[in-house]
Amino acid sequence: MATETLLSDPSKNPESTREVDETVLARLRAGEIAALDELFAVYGDRVFGVCLGILAHHADAEDATQEVFLRAFEQAARFSARSRFSTWLLRLTANHTLNLAKARGRRRRLDEPMAEGIASTSPPPDRGVIQRERRDELARHLQKLSVERRQVLILREMEGLSYTELAEVLDVPIGTVTSRLIRARQQLRGLMHDFRSDTPEPG
């Protein structure tokens, strides 16, 4: 067993820890469109990635991302410097996508349009067929999780948030974050054949 790989923390993308500075936030609060543009340059990919992971539909993810940034623009004055701006923005993202996913769940049958959304336009062509199939399968199975489990898993894996940060973003106790993550992983693991351990049980 390669212990070093078990011990190493999942490497965070440096982009995922980047924050805008206070001057941009001040300009945002003053209603300056250029500041919104800078905000998108810093957080656009992150918010879109989370929206796409949760909604699994490109057009919906684009609409949701746009809505999150417009809300951030309108509500910038409500941001208090007690938390990181990215945490606040991800909270807007989590709330909006939760509402969207629940509303959609009431309207549509779960499954078909959503997983197609990721599979249809991606992945990049240099990825192999097996990797592509595995990715599509994961996207499809991820949609079988409740939106609450999906959210916490995506925010943890894509954004690398700590449990404390996840609790703040999702507005739930840390114990809920912990249990949702355990169940999300168990469920996804049960659904994904690729991630099963091939090692026979001892004894």
Partner 1 sequence: MDCQTTQDSLSRYVDGELPADLSRSLTAHLEACNKCGAEAVALRSMGDGVRELAEPAPVSMRARISHEARAAQARRDRQDPWIPRFSPAWSRAAAVLVGAASVAFALSPFASTPVPTPQSMPAARLLVSESQSDLELDGSFRGEFRFLARRPEGRLMHESTHDLTRGR
Provide the binding-site residues for partner 1, judged by CB under 8 A.
1-3, 5-7, 9-10, 31, 33, 36-37, 40-41, 44-45, 47-50, 52-53, 62, 65-67, 69-71, 73-74, 96, 99-100, 103, 118, 122-123, 134-135, 138-139, 142, 153-154, 156-158, 162-163, 178, 181-182, 185, 188-189, 192, 194-199, 201-202
In the complex, what is the shortest distance from the CB of residue 115 to partner 1, in angstroms, rounded to a whole number? 11
Residues near 93 by beta carbon (within 8 Å), at least 6 away in sequence: 47, 50, 51, 64, 68
Question: 82 — phi, psi (to 5°)?
Answer: -65, -30
In the complex, what is the shortest distance from the CB of residue 181 to partner 1, in angstroms, rounded to a whole number? 5
- Please say which residue, 84 or 138, places its beta carbon nearer to partner 1: 138
- Please say which residue, 53 or 89, places its beta carbon nearer to partner 1: 53
In the complex, what is the shortest distance from the CB of residue 102 to partner 1, in angstroms, rounded to a whole number? 10
In the complex, what is the shortest distance from the CB of residue 46 to partner 1, in angstroms, rounded to a whole number? 8
In the complex, what is the shortest distance from the CB of residue 201 to partner 1, in angstroms, rounded to a whole number? 6
The percent of the chain in helix, strand and coil, each rounded to the nearest 5, is 75, 0, 25
Please spell the DSSP secondary structure of 123-178, one letter per residue: S-TTS-HHHHHHHHHHHHHHTTS-HHHHHHHHHHHHH---HHHHHHHHTS-HHHHH
- Please say which residue, 19 or 158, places its beta carbon nearer to partner 1: 158
Pair 28, 76: CB distance under 8 Å: yes
Q: How far is CA 148 from CA 41, 140, 154, in A?
A: 28, 16, 10
